[in-house]
Amino acid sequence: MDDRNTMSNAHQVESFGVPWEESYGYVQAVKRGDTIYLSGQVAHNGTELVAPAPVNDAGLVTDFANTGEQLRQCYANAAELLQRFGASLDDVVEEVIYAVDVDAADAAAGPVRKEAYGRPDPQVASTMIGTPRLAFRELLVEVKFIARV
């Protein structure tokens, strides 16, 4: 592990190394004591967006059908980050889903969340919030997590 990502046993940070971390100025995850805070996870694999939504000339999303696929990638990215701390989605105690279209996100969230957490009744406090847009216009959802280990 690289020295800039580990400050001490009580404080550890992790990043993906994507350009927007540096341009915006943040890390993907911070561990303080027994709590891991994950920044909002979006649907990307490296620098490529996963299942980007189509947008019109005005930059508005024209189809929300990729919401489930994007949500699935958010959980995959969170799982990868948590693993770096020796944790998993089983350790998540709270999540907040930010959705450009709440109806589409609500329809996708149940099945995707149950699959991600590996149980029919995920043991996590969950909130969904509608938002007019996210960091990239092609994004439909973003999920923020807090885990305890």
Question: Average pLDDT for consecutive 10-residue bins of the chain (149 residues)?
Answer: 49 95 96 98 96 97 98 98 98 98 98 98 98 97 98
What pLDDT is attached to residue 9? 53
> What pLDDT score does 7 carry?
46
What's the structural domain count of the chain? 1
CA separation for the pair 135, 139 (Å, rounded)? 7
The parent domain of residue 69 ranges over 3-148
The reported pLDDT for the residue numbered 11 is 87
| CATH number assigned to the domain comprising residue 83 | 3.30.1330.40
The pLDDT of residue 2: 46
DSSP E strand stretches across the chain: 6-8, 11-14, 29-32, 35-41, 44-45, 48-49, 92-99, 125-130, 141-148
